[in-house]
Chain A
């Protein structure tokens, strides 16, 4: 038997999304907070059951969109009014209608880049090593099995009690996850 400090956490295995969601709700109700669930496909409302806070990603998307739009319009303004003013068909130098398509596209580009890289940053990716892969069964999280991991840093974590609790939550198996 390993001691709690050598463990990343305890991993409970399920073969049904419903069972995983039920276990997550029970664990949350029991007071566990430092936990994460793993499944081969998105499970509706699992994040709510785990008590995850709302993602901050939409804010990043908004910031990226606004930055993209402002810099797009600014770039066009600088190019056609300040840096290289040129009379095109007698139109004013600051012809806003012709600036809109590029402003729009850079808004989308900024929002998309911030969303992708923001998602990676908020998830802590890329992550070359993760303790969970020390459990051979965990490979099936991308195939046909559902996992709930309660981490050892949870204040409520106690190796024996938590393992017993997870078994009560009808886990098919409870694996110890070495660091």
Chain B
């Protein structure tokens, strides 16, 4: 019982500290928004996309677990649901992006559109009003599904029944379809349209892969941090960690596979409207970031996760998860920033303010919400299996 109290104390400490960091950095970021708006808005977009992708990854994985079941999800289900429950906060955190549309997106600048025939043709979709409506629709769908599924899942614990479980699985499968469609369109709107001449059919899938990596890595970090404390300690053991490690490895492979496919298709096509996206991201120092992604977002974590012992030791698995979370930021930075410095790599120092700002607020909300859910499910058909593993 005392360790339960310890974990609550730890979470409330995290909540207080990250709220303080988030608020202070928000003030600094707000100052940046007025002092250096050209730097601020891309930096803010990177920070927003990163924490958005964690929440979305958590949402998708929780849906997946509700559909497939399996002992792997029992220890992490509440953490996933808590991550997904931060989507209303993210809707609020999206507002600053709306203020910066002309600074972020070429198609939102009337002067640029006037001199560009392609942008004129695309303006039926890429215009400020429709962009805002679409963002509203995405957030409405995510919040609706995340809150409904979380509520149904909590009900399943309180009054378990087969009908409840089946309707939860049904709602989750609809949720996954909605997730795939909305993420595809959101990625077209928010990142692909940064270079409005560029098109890539697989970009949405890469975004989904990135979200899943971010969500899984974040959940692994959270539960290893809480692994010494009461509710998690009871269900977490080497073979559960092994499952999550395998999951993370599969997702890293999925990310690498889709990312390389995009590169291969554009490289073989060799078309003038597609290749510039890679050309500006592969020169002037950006190629080092690209190689960093290949090495540290794919090769190194892949080789580490091939090791059985790495996947079974909480500290080592947490270290790989931390590396991957850091590389998620680098990946988003590499997707967004070259648009604003196509001539060569420049470090946008404002990310050092916007990431702690968005992250502090997000993490404070997360730590506040986590204990409100009972962190581990008491009465779950898979819970039995998970506990059983602990003694095996």
Which residue numbers of A lie inside 8 Å of B, CB to CB? 44-45, 58, 62, 89, 97-98, 100-101
B389 within 8 A of partner (CB) = yes
B389 contacts which chain A residues (CB < 8 A)? 44
Contact of B264 among A44, A58, A98 (CB under 8 A): A98
A and B contact pairs by CB, cutoff 8 A, 17 listed: A44-B388, A44-B389, A44-B392, A45-B392, A58-B308, A62-B306, A89-B270, A97-B263, A97-B264, A97-B267, A97-B268, A98-B264, A98-B267, A98-B268, A100-B260, A100-B264, A101-B264
Nearest opposing residue in chain A for B270, CB measure? A89
**Which residues on the B side are within 8 Å of A101 (C-beta)?**
264
| A-B contact sample (8 more), CB < 8 A, given A97-B268, A98-B267 | A44-B392, A45-B392, A62-B306, A97-B264, A97-B267, A98-B268, A100-B264, A101-B264
- Taken residue by residue from 239 to 278, chain B's Cβ proximity to chain A (1 for < 8 Å, 0 otherwise) reads as 0000000000000000000001001100110100000000
Name the residue among A44, A58, A62, A89 with the largest chain B CB count within 10 angstroms.
A44
Give Cα distance in the complex from A101 to B261, angstroms. Answer: 9
Chain A residues with CB under 8 A of B267: 97-98
Considering the complex, give the chain A residue whose CB is closest to the CB of B264.
A97
For window 365-392 of chain B, which residues contact chain A by CB distance below 8 Å?
388-389, 392
Per DSSP, chain A at the interface is helix
Question: Could you mark each residue 52-90 of chain B with 1 if its beta carbon is under 8 Å from any beta carbon of chain A, else 0?
Answer: 000000000000000000000000000000000000000
Instruction: Collect the chain B residues with CB atoms within 8 Å of residue A100's CB.
Output: 260, 264
Chain B residues near A58: list those with CB within 8 A.
Answer: 308
Chain B nearest Cβ from A28, distance in angstroms: 15
Residue of B306, B388, B392 with highest tally of chain A CB at under 10 A: B392
Chain B contacts of A45 at CB under 8 A? 392
* 5 nearest A-B pairs in the assembled complex, by CB-CB distance: A45-B392, A97-B267, A44-B392, A97-B264, A100-B260
* Docked complex Cα distance between A98 and B306 (Å): 26
Tell me the nearest residue of chain A to B388, going by C-beta: A44
A95 to chain B, nearest CB (A): 8
